A and B are shown apart, each in its own frame.
Chain A
Amino acid sequence: MEFLIGNFAELTITGLVLGSVYALVALGYTLVYGVLQLINFAHSEVFMWGTYAVVWVLTLLGASGTSSLAGAAGYLAIALVAAVLMSGGVALIVERFAYRRLVRQNAPKYIILISAIGASFVLSEIMGLRDKIAGFLGLQGVLGDYVNNPRNTSTLPVEIKPEPVLQIGNYMVRDTELLIIISALIMMFVLDQFIRRTSFGRQIRAVAQDPEAASLMGANSTNVVRLTFLIGGVMAGVAATLYMIKVGATGFNVGFVLGVKAFTAAVLGGIGNLRGALLGGLILGIAENYASGILGSEWRDVTAFVLLVLVLLVRPSGLLGESLGRARA
């Protein structure tokens, strides 16, 4: 308890940083749930592939050594583009192979969930077996560094050194942390406006509200679903870049725990509600930090689940209420 009070500012700020990443990943869950009423179990692997895109691009560009955030800005911008492309692409592949056929057949929900679990296995195992797959294709010599030791963690080739820029309470906020929180907020704002004001956004909201009526009004629901997955993937790509700036290492199984937490965040804020995802993510990040401050860090991962059960018991529709169609965002 004393630890919590003594480090209140630090725990809060780092909680917000983690929460921003959760929130960006949570968007993918919330959008797909809003449109299809399905838990996209494979979304966590979409995020994981994004983190690898960051590592690979920086390796390809030959970045090395240590650098300040500003010094690595160019590299990181390219990495961001790569991560967004990778995650968006993987999300589209998931939609095509694990969802489309079953959604068209109107299959029961749990069957689609199983299919998504299958997709999640496939995506993480392809990453975890990439040396063997490359060997199978005869590319191991060419891809060497990118595919070796696939089951160990891969670290970012350049170490980003955070610099303190701002004092809040007794904690110096670092520039990387500031960057993560601000970029997450910007992305959320852009997405919010996109869903609210553009024609695509209107179509998404319409399909979420009533798929049949929406298609009668001329919205192509297959395209809308595809677009939803793509947006979720793009957000996961941004989240992956920010995550790599903060953590600096990834692994083929990194997606799972983060995915569950992001999903919790989405439910916490009200699934299908974009602003809810942001709020849920931030609350979850802070709550985790406080809980590990009080109980010790070995209990950190339990927080999300306990919080999830409590929220579902007390307010099953989440803090801000669910439904992409009904909520104005």
Chain B
Amino acid sequence: MNNIISGLRARLAPVADRVGTALEPVGRVLGMKSVKYPLRTVGVLLIYALPILHLPLINTENSDFSGVLFTVGTYVLVALGLNIVIGYAGLLDLGYVGFYAVGAYTVGVVTSEHGQWPFFLALPLALVVTMASGVLLGAPTLRVRGDYLAIVTMGFGEIIRIVARNTDWLGGAGGINSIPSPPDIGPEEGLFQIPHLSWQYGYPTIDDRVTKVLHFGVLDATPYFWMILTTIILVICADMLIKNSRVGRAWEATREDEDVAELMGVPTFKFKLLAFAMGACIGGLAGAMYATRVGFINPPSFPLMLSLLFVAAVVIGGAGNRWGAILGAVIVAYLPERFREFADWRLLVFGIALIVIVSFRTQGLFPGRQKKRVAQAEKEVQKLEEGAEIV
């Protein structure tokens, strides 16, 4: 597997270079030094256009494609948050669905159950509440040993679900109904309308379906997808800034060796708590968006299995590398929707995939650069030690 991926990378890199070189004159004409950024912009625009293009092979025939894309988006958002906790700070959180639920319930409570707040006002509140719940859970539990943390967080996820089920104020077992969509921006028919493509005849034709821009209806999930995609891009930017800051380095040091980090003057507990709170916050964000999209939440929407799927997404992709985590989330969320006929086998296949991937590629499919460096250093140290033994 190692060889396949590195081989693939070696083969793809020159292609990308060549494309870059070929486009360079174009860039020069336009007065740009590098075509990297325009290329990225095109890529992002393509992702934005996905729900409209309905590309064959990628499109899901049996379920609404933009709905599927939205689900993938929530998983990606969650994976980005969980990647901070697991990948950067090295804390195994098996109860992440708890934060997701807290975010969703906060929105549900203030917009429908006990208030009429508009969504964009409820969203910041959801962030604050989930962050607070992250700190509340983290403050006592982050002091316990790492492997206990997994079980304690798993317990937290279950407690949140059971409390929601047993508390009438939170809607009890029936959950919360009629959570409103985000308010429309602009006129009733949307700022402007974009038609969808149809590939019915093998070539693209203009369909009679249209998406109203910034009009959040029940039927069309495309505006929600755009909303979550925008959020994801913002979160990725924030993630990049944090990862390359002192905070990111402190997380890395804590993950690799807590005692050494502490000796070097890193207040490890504080940084672990920060990672926990930030991860919780992003999980809550995803939960809030989920709530406003589906309009109805109840305790069984947040089963423990979801936590394990989230962890699986991060670990399969490669904990510590945001692109790996995103890829993992896309795999975990998209493949079962695309291949609906095998949906029953999903968990079985995941289980096997988890065992195989961690056995043969301990770092996940795309490990982070630092993790690879650490693994390399460890290997060298081991080699030296073994050599000394022989002498």
Contact = CB atoms under 8 A, between A and B. Distances in A.
Contacts of A111: 358, 362
B148 A118 contact: no
B208 interface: no
Interface in A96-153: 97-98, 101-102, 105, 107-115, 117-126, 129, 132
A309 B141 contact: yes
Interface string B157-180: 011001101100000000000000
Q: Give the interface size class of chain A.
A: 35 or more
B155 interface: yes
A74 to B, nearest CB: 37
A121 B351 contact: yes
Given A113-B150, A121-B354, A302-B163, A105 B362 contact: yes
B344 interface: yes
B385 to A, nearest CB: 13
Prevailing SS type, chain A contact patch: helix
Q: Give the interface size class of chain B.
A: 35 or more
Interface in B46-98: 86, 90, 92
B152 interface: yes
Prevailing SS type, chain B contact patch: helix
A313 B148 CA distance: 11
B366 to A, nearest CB: 16
A111 B319 CA distance: 11
A308 B311 contact: no
Nearest to A308: B155
Interface string B352-375: 111100110010000000000000
Nearest to B316: A114
A31 to B, nearest CB: 16
Contacts of A312: 141, 144, 148, 152
Contacts of A125: 345, 347-348, 351
Contact of B355 (A37, A119, A305): A119
Contacts of B354: 114-115, 117-118, 121
Nearest to A151: B344
Contacts of B359: 101-102, 115
Contacts of A102: 358-359, 362
25 contacts: A38-B147, A39-B150, A39-B151, A102-B359, A107-B358, A109-B146, A109-B147, A111-B362, A113-B147, A114-B312, A114-B354, A117-B311, A118-B350, A118-B355, A121-B347, A121-B350, A121-B354, A125-B345, A125-B351, A260-B154, A298-B166, A305-B155, A305-B158, A305-B159, A312-B141
Given A114-B311, A120-B351, 17 more contacts: A108-B362, A117-B311, A118-B350, A118-B351, A118-B355, A119-B351, A119-B355, A121-B354, A125-B345, A260-B151, A260-B158, A267-B151, A298-B162, A302-B162, A305-B155, A305-B156, A313-B140
Interface of A: 37-39, 97-98, 101-102, 105, 107-115, 117-126, 129, 132, 256, 260, 263-264, 267, 298-299, 301-302, 304-306, 308-309, 312-313, 316
